[in-house]
Amino acid sequence: MKWLTPGGLVAACAVGAGVTWRLGWPGLALLAAFFLTGSILTQLAERRGPSRNARQVLANGGIALVAALLGSWAGAAGAIAAAAADTWATEVGAFSPLPPRLITSGRRVTRGTSGGITALGTLGGVAGAALIAGLTAALSPRGLTPRFPILATAGVAGMLADSLLGATLQAKYECPACDARFESGNTVCHEPVRLARGWRWLDNDGVNLAATLVGAAAAVLGAHVAPP
């Protein structure tokens, strides 16, 4: 079962080492909880293990690493909570008996469409954020992290930001020959794909990075406004 490419393994080790250096083994435990649960859920949902590359690892863990290097428990935990919420929402949502609906309009979309959400997937995302929030409350030093509700809310905020960006600003491409839609500009089709909407530089990894940034910012703000 190959969960990481060689480059992904190097990136994961770098993120893990940086977080552990600044936050100790509790920080590493949060990363491990996110990675293991997300990988297992992906395997169950897609019947295969994910093979994350370095870019994908940094998109999900880069903000947590930066927050940890800055000594921010709240920021690191908020970023990981957002990454877990988004991953759980996607993989749990794959089991939904109802098709996803676009978060901005409620229109039915095909499974896997960026910005599409389901009730089951949303509940899964809330559970993922709650897991990281609970572990953070149990493992981190007292007084250094926001309360459980604040951290869980930060994770959910990151998940919702991911869906909103996916539905609005994430790049979408189409084949001029057959009108097939893609989320990657280098997808092979009948002809070179063209940008249909969104920002060309904002792909799925960029959206994931932005979502974790939202989670980190929300957790830091929450900790400042309502300290533990």
pLDDT at 182: 61
Would strands 172-174 and 116-117 be described as parallel, antiparallel, or unpaired? unpaired
Beta-sheet strands, E only, within 130-191: 172-174, 181-182
Are 198 and 114 a contacting pair, CB within 8 Å?
Answer: no
pLDDT at 112: 74
Six token digits for residue 97 = 């008996």
Mean pLDDT of all residues belonging to the chain: 86
pLDDT at 195: 66
pLDDT at 189: 67
Task: Give the 3-state DSSP-derived string for 72-110, with helices as H, strands as E and coil as C.
Answer: CHHHHHHHHHHHHHHHHHHHHHCCCCCCCEECCCCCECC
Six token digits for residue 103 = 């978060």
Query: What is the percent of the chain with per-residue pLDDT over 70, rounded to a whole number?
Result: 85
Residue 48 vs residue 221, higher pLDDT? 221
pLDDT at 1: 46
* Mean of pLDDT values over 125-132: 97
List, for residues 159-182, the tens digit of each pLDDT value.
Answer: 999 999 988 888 777 766 665 666
pLDDT at 48: 55
Give the C-alpha distances (Å, rounded to integers) separating 80 from 23, 116, 158, 197.
13, 22, 10, 29
Compute the distance between CA of residue 31 and CA of residue 84 in angstroms, rounded to an integer.
9
* Mean of pLDDT values over 192-196: 68
Residue 49 CB-density burial (10 A; 0-12 exposed, 13-18 middle, 19+ buried)? middle
Indicate whether 128 pLDDT > 90.
Answer: yes
Helices 73-93 and 25-46, interaxial angle, to 10°?
A: 10
Compute the distance between CA of residue 113 and CA of residue 166 in angstroms, rounded to an integer.
8
* Mean of pLDDT values over 88-114: 87
* Mean of pLDDT values over 77-90: 96
pLDDT at 3: 75
Residue type, 41: L
Element containing residue 197 per DSSP (H, E): strand 194-197
Q: Where are the domains of the chain?
A: 6-225
| Structure letter (DSSP) for residue 176 | T
pLDDT at 110: 80
| CA-CA-CA-CA dihedral for 55, 169, 126, 90, to nearest 10 | -60
Residue with tokens 């980190």: 216
Indicate whether 71 pLDDT > 50.
Answer: yes
pLDDT at 170: 82
| Structure letter (DSSP) for residue 189 | S
Indicate whether 185 pLDDT > 60.
Answer: no
